[in-house]
Amino acid sequence: MIVNIFTLVMLFIAVLSFVLGGYLFYATLKILLHFKKDVPLEAKSKFEETGYLIFLLACVVLSVRMFAWPWFYFMLQSFVSEVPGAMCIFGVTRVLPDTVTFLQIIKPISFFIMGGWLLCYYVDKSIQTSPLARKNLLFLLPICGVLLADSIVDIYYVIRMKPLISVSCCATFFDTPLRPSAMIPQALFGINFQQTLFIVFYATNIILIILLFTSLSRKWQSLASLPRNVMLYSQAVLAVVNIPIVIISFFENIGPTLMQLPLHHCIYCFMGKGIVPDAPVILGLFAIGTFSIGWMVILHFICRNGETQLVTGKLLRKVNGLSVFCLLAFIMMVTIHLILI
């Protein structure tokens, strides 16, 4: 194990969220096993009390995991000086690569699903009879599983991380002609894919923003005359398609342009070296904007109930608005950066 302030804080956070997440899982399972629709009235109070404890624990665990997400990258950055040959975070990711890849994927997932759960909880608590209590508890179980997995793998990674091998510089991976981020668009758009990719990047994002605006504005909705469901599903599909487009665009076009290193395609250098200081903000806005669309889908599926219709509708609009704001801010920041270069 590499002993520095970053690893120890990470370990502390991971152990804390493991303990809290474990108790959360236990409490949720216990209440679910005893959950009956027609429960004696006094027992209902007990369920509700435990429900509040679960909510409190969930909020604390979410806060801790939210901090863990950026801290994970701070920790990786601190390993750069420890790993022989590493010039940026990429080099660090070559040590225990599967574990790091897993952690990089599971952290945004856990943030996403936890956020979805909190929204469903809000809807449930807005209704006098709490009609979604059981659904929310069922939803919480896999979330606890994800949180526990995240914490356990964090602990494993921190303990097992040892710079025993020498690694290559990111340029040997990201700057070769056969890099993965170039091969896919090249196969689709041909050799001069970068311009097409740039157009596709803007097209998908603008269309997505327009679709989101349409949901917000009644006037536009009536003009479009599409059912709400169709609108939501198309937003979700486009958001999913947009994710790889944005990622590949950042690797191929936008990242190198903003770094003013047109031949360097390392996303870690873009994020972490301070060349583009607001890079984390840009990508953070995209993440939240995309997550918001996912949260709308979660709300639509889980909070589908006659009683919750009104509250869910209002919340969907708010989340829709958040998505529009974030994606619009994301696109504007990228555009301003590109103009100013």
Of these, 22, 29, 78, 224, which contacts another protein (CB under 8 A)? Answer: 78
**275 lines the binding site for another protein (CB under 8 A):** no
**309 lines the binding site for another protein (CB under 8 A):** no
Sign of CA dihedral 287, 289, 295, 300: negative
The answer for residues whose C-beta is within 8 angstroms of residue 213's C-beta and 6 or more apart is: 220, 324
Contact call for residues 227 and 131 (beta carbons, < 8 A): no
Of these, 14, 31, 62, 64, which contacts another protein (CB under 8 A)? Answer: 64
Of these, 53, 171, 216, 247, which contacts another protein (CB under 8 A)? Answer: 53
**Interacting positions 117-176 with another protein (CB under 8 A):** 125-130, 133
**Interacting positions 16-35 with another protein (CB under 8 A):** 16, 20
**48 lines the binding site for another protein (CB under 8 A):** yes
Q: Is 58 exposed, middle or buried (0-12, 13-18, 19+ CB in 10 A)?
A: buried
Contact call for residues 238 and 207 (beta carbons, < 8 A): yes
Segment interacting with another protein (CB under 8 A) among 46-54, 107-115, 190-198, 236-244 = 46-54
Report the nearest approach of another protein to the CB of residue 318 (Å). 9
Q: How far apart are CA 153 and CA 213, in angstroms?
A: 40
Segment interacting with another protein (CB under 8 A) among 37-45, 164-172, 202-210, 328-336 = 37-45
Side chain identity at residue 130, one-letter code: S
Q: How far apart are CA 255 and CA 265, in angstroms?
A: 7
Can you list the alpha helix ranges (DSSP code H) found in the chain?
Answer: 5-33, 41-78, 89-93, 97-126, 133-160, 171-174, 180-189, 193-216, 218-224, 228-249, 255-259, 267-272, 279-302, 309-340
Segment interacting with another protein (CB under 8 A) among 47-55, 93-101, 108-116, 192-200 = 47-55
Of these, 4, 104, 186, 305, which contacts another protein (CB under 8 A)? Answer: 4
| Tokens 């009956």 belong to residue | 36
Of these, 26, 35, 36, 52, which contacts another protein (CB under 8 A)? Answer: 52
Of these, 35, 67, 220, 301, which contacts another protein (CB under 8 A)? Answer: 67
**42 lines the binding site for another protein (CB under 8 A):** yes
Q: Which residues here bind another protein, judged by CB under 8 A?
A: 2-5, 7-9, 11-12, 16, 20, 40-42, 44-45, 48-49, 52-53, 55-57, 60, 63-64, 67, 74, 78, 81-82, 125-130, 133
